[in-house]
């Protein structure tokens, strides 16, 4: 009974904390964001490293059976945040995959089709494209009542194809889309790629010329020596301070006998 009582107390405490967190005033978030923006402004604002975002990964949708662009954007929001490469979702007419990749001016392409004669997906790493066949992701579903599940499956299938095509291999973390061994497995897998897979993808894409956007504060860019010329008073003050000559001679302590030994 004592154990049950203790468990009940813990559960109550956790529930209370959860409720408190969910009811926290929005002003706190707004205040933190304002403080962050003010601090960034004091440091000269953000600047983008020249030519840091090179190459392109394209998702080319050639089918008209389903529109899952909303679900796609939700699933890939985390991917774009983790690796800010140029990643686009395009609508194009059906055609030969390699030709579509060239027309899209993409370094890597995931072609989305609807074809009952094709398998669920195909990965062609040598040609840097993959094919996702949404026709096969209707398995076990009764349209249109389960349209939401169908759309989610298709977006996860696109994520899995991206992972396999772009260098994401095995992970120490279970349960993600890469571990799905069937269409139904996609329903219970989560759509966040583990950090070790994200790192693998970033290295693989970079080696193939697809590099992420690099953004940093102006002060750091000036210190690193690649910042553009200042465009406002704050940036000019930072520029002048970093490039200013020392006003006093640099003192070097004489070498001691102990150091020489």
Question: Which runs of consecutive H residues, i.e. helices, occur in the chain?
Answer: 2-22, 26-42, 69-82, 97-103, 147-165, 183-188, 195-207, 218-224, 233-243, 257-260
The pLDDT value recorded for residue 96 is: 95
Residue 230 lies in a domain: no
Comparing C-alpha atoms, which of 216, 197, 182 is closest to residue 78?
197
Q: CB-based contacts of 183: which residues, under 8 Å, 6+ apart?
A: 120, 136, 137, 139, 140, 153
Residue 77 lies in a domain: yes
Residue 257 lies in a domain: no
The pLDDT value recorded for residue 10 is: 39
The pLDDT value recorded for residue 143 is: 67
Number of domains within the chain? 1
pTM of the model: 0.69
Instruction: Determine the distance from the C-alpha atom of residue 257 to the mean position of all C-alpha atoms in its chain, rounded to a whole number.
Output: 55
Residue 253 lies in a domain: no
Is 66 buried (19+), middle (13-18) or exposed (0-12) by CB count in 10 A?
A: buried
Tracing tokens 């690099």 back to the chain, one arrives at 214
Residue 261 lies in a domain: no
Tracing tokens 């997906």 back to the chain, one arrives at 121
Residue 10 lies in a domain: no
Give the CA distances from residue 83 to residues 1, 76, 143, 205, in Å, rounded to whole numbers and listed in that order.
51, 10, 35, 10
Task: List per-residue pLDDT tens for the chain, 261 residues long.
Answer: 444 444 344 344 434 334 333 333 344 566 688 888 888 888 888 888 888 889 999 999 999 999 999 999 999 998 988 889 999 999 999 999 999 999 999 999 999 999 999 999 999 999 999 999 999 998 878 766 788 899 999 999 999 999 999 998 778 888 888 888 888 888 889 888 989 999 999 999 999 999 988 888 888 988 888 888 999 999 889 988 888 866 666 677 766 665 555
Residue 30 lies in a domain: no
DSSP 8-state code for residue 90 = E
Domain span including residue 103: 57-207
The pLDDT value recorded for residue 177 is: 86
Comparing C-alpha atoms, which of 161, 189, 160, 185 is closest to residue 174?
189
The pLDDT value recorded for residue 250 is: 65
Q: Which CATH number covers residue 132?
A: 3.40.390.10
Q: Which two tokens stand for residue 35?
A: 């403080």
Residue 122 lies in a domain: yes
Q: How far is the C-alpha of 216 from the C-alpha of 226, rounded, in Å? A: 11
The pLDDT value recorded for residue 126 is: 93
Q: CB-based contacts of 129: which residues, under 8 Å, 6+ apart?
A: 97, 98, 101, 108, 109, 110, 111, 165
Instruction: Determine the distance from the C-alpha atom of residue 260 to the mean position of all C-alpha atoms in its chain, rounded to a whole number.
Output: 52
């Amino acid at each position: 009974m004592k154990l049950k009582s203790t468990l009940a107390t813990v559960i109550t405490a956790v529930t209370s904390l959860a409720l408190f967190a969910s009811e926290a005033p929005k002003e706190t978030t707004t205040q933190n964001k304002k403080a962050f923006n003010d601090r960034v402004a004091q440091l000269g604002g953000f600047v983008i490293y020249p030519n840091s975002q090179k190459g392109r990964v394209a998702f080319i949708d050639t089918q008209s059976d389903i529109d899952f662009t909303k679900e796609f954007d939700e699933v890939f929001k985390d991917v774009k945040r983790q690796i800010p490469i140029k990643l686009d979702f395009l609508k194009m007419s059906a055609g030969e995959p390699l030709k579509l990749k060239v027309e899209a001016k993409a370094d890597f392409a995931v072609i989305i089709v609807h074809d009952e004669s094709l398998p669920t997906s195909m990965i062609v790493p040598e040609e840097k494209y993959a094919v996702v066949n949404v026709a096969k992701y209707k398995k076990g579903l009764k349209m249109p009542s389960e349209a939401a599940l169908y759309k989610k499956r298709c977006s996860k299938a696109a994520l899995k194809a991206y992972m396999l095509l772009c260098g994401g291999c095995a992970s120490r973390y279970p349960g993600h889309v890469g571990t799905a061994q069937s269409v139904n497995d996609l329903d219970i897998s989560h759509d966040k790629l583990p950090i070790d897979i994200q790192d693998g993808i970033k290295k693989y894409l970079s080696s193939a010329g697809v590099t992420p956007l690099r953004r940093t504060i102006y002060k750091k860019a000036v210190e690193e020596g690649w910042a553009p010329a200042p465009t406002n008073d704050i940036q000019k003050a930072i520029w002048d301070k970093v490039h200013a000559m020392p006003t006093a001679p640099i003192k070097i302590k004489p070498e001691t006998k102990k150091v020489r030994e």
